[in-house]
Structure 1
Amino acid sequence: MSTNNWESRSMGAFTLRYKPYTLELRHVFTVASFSRNTTPGLLLELEYEGLVGYGEASMPPYLGESQESVIQFLRKIDLSRFKSPFETADILHAIDEVDLKNTAAKASIDIALHDLLGKLMGQPFYKIWGLNPSLIPPTSFTIGIDTEDMIRKKLAEAEQFDILKVKLGLETDRMIIETIRSVTDVPLCADVNQGWKNKEEALEMAHWLSDQNVVFLEQPMPKEMIDANAWLTERSPIPTIADEACQRLVDVPKLQGVYSGINIKLMKCTGMREAKKMAELARALELKVMLGCMTETSCAISAAAQLGPLVDWADLDGALLIANDVYEGMAVVDGRCILPDRPGIGLRNI
């Protein structure tokens, strides 16, 4: 990739390059609390001995990061004391110590480091982890909150998918589901994005949605309503999944008994290394595992997909929702996630 407009820094054995990149969405994206048609992002490259690992940060504004904050964080990074990318644990620990937050910024380096390691070893990362890519669940495709006509248009674009993710949390919830059910009977995942505020009404909706072949509820009520979410989980006919309530590894044990499972996203948890630990801990705690994403290029999506065989549900449609992807990586064929047999996270530049 051209280095034009990239900020570049040499640090001992490593060279770090990055630049802002704005993702353009194919449709206006609406959830319970906001609408947008772009997502601020950042592309990153980490070079070592002539090999380049690719990384990415995606920063939906509600998460509190921006292109400016990510760049400021990356300017604090100094890798000069590390001799090799194989010092992975030490490198990522040092980066995590720079600041308490900035998880998307941290994820961009984590992804690039894993891509670089895979290229040094000559293997895709799912093989390094000993995972079988045929076990990745079919990915859902997201239908945002919209009008009946736009929902029907989006459904026409989603014909290849065997499962759909539906954004809920407003007074239009029943209309959205009924519109979808007038077109297709495929299973649905319902992402409420903390939109429901009353546990009794949430339970009533859970029963109604269960009858509509909705397979789980993602973040039904605000994360602060711990007791109400636990009450709903105990009574709901379908599983509840923590999203906003589940950011990093330290959160996972606290969610046992409050939700049925967790949604892991690289941009929330600092990248692939911690995401894998979260999936393994959730399994040990008998929690279901969902693998999600932001609107991202094929870089972060392909990185997340390396973990796909470890999860119950995949929601890896982020690159399909944008109009200006810059990479070719994980492909979606008939709703299935197909990982390329290429080293690292398997990217090619478009």
Structure 2
Amino acid sequence: MSRTTDTARAVQDLIRHCHDGLDVPGVHGEFLRSVRKLMPVDAAFFATADPETLLFTGAFADEPLGAVTPLFMDNEFGGSDVNRFAALAISNRHVASLDTATHADRFASGRYREIMRPLGLGDELRAALVTGSQCWGYLCLHREDHPLGFTDAEAALIATIAPHLAHALRQAVLLHGAPSNGGVGEPGVVLLAEDLGVVAVTPEAAHLLSLVDETRSIHLPLPLAVYTVAMAVRAIEQGTAPSRTLPTSRVRTVDGHWLTLHASRLQGPPSEQRISVVVRTAEPTATIPLMLAAHGLSPREAEVARLVLRGTSTQLISDTLHISPHTVQDHLKAVFDKVGVRSRRDLIGRLLQPPGTAG
């Protein structure tokens, strides 16, 4: 059997696993096992993301990457380096190597000079995991420091696989997550110093964050999502954020509930600059956009669905969106088909109750 045939079979096997309904650890585990059969990979980073804010919600990192997570985070949010994940998510090309972005001048990248080269790493291949118009995660593959980096063919291979990985992460939200139906705990607060050192954590926040399914490979005292929303505050202040979107993220707990994390700057003396992260159980209104995106609704279909969930009539939806009642019904039929329901009442029930309990 030829090498080309072996590669094609391995790719098809990986794509098939992406449609098996795996949970997030299963997705990244299967991918990392498979990708190392397809190309040399010396270290890998795999993250989930909130499709609305593009912020990390969790991550897995091989060593030595996990030990320098804060440095990578600072590079991602604090500067203007090439191939930043959020930039890849909104660009026309979602996969790119460091060598391609720097025209083979790796020293043009601060990430290479200050983090990767000291670790003995060279080229990297980054991907935003996008399906439709939504980004559900990120991927970065590393090679040891060597003049030869990732090839165009390898980048094309990851570009082929990436939408299927995105589908797998989106499917994990539907099969292994649930809209919040109350009761995992009272809101809490995390207080971080300017260097993101932990100043204080309320007992309520500690309890909620203990419920997050966080991998042990990231060397941080709190879940990655806490630091992500805090660094987003700094990026907005420094003008390096890709958007001015409020630094809010939604994170799933091990029992299928959702938490909302919101970061803001506390005003005080320059020597006592602090960032506050409020952690609370997500309200259903906060998770509905996430669930609509997970079902693969188009932006217009999601608009119609949100109005239906508010009890809006067909005629009022028509007036609000400036489309005909007939077009509203067409969109609504598409919503029903994608969510797997037959009526407005069923749609509300499906989106506000845990998976596996819908009739």
| TM-score, length of structure 2 as denominator length | 0.25
Q: Which has the higher strand share?
A: 1
Structure showing greater radius of gyration is 2
Q: Which has the higher helix share?
A: 2
| TM-score, length of structure 1 as denominator length | 0.25
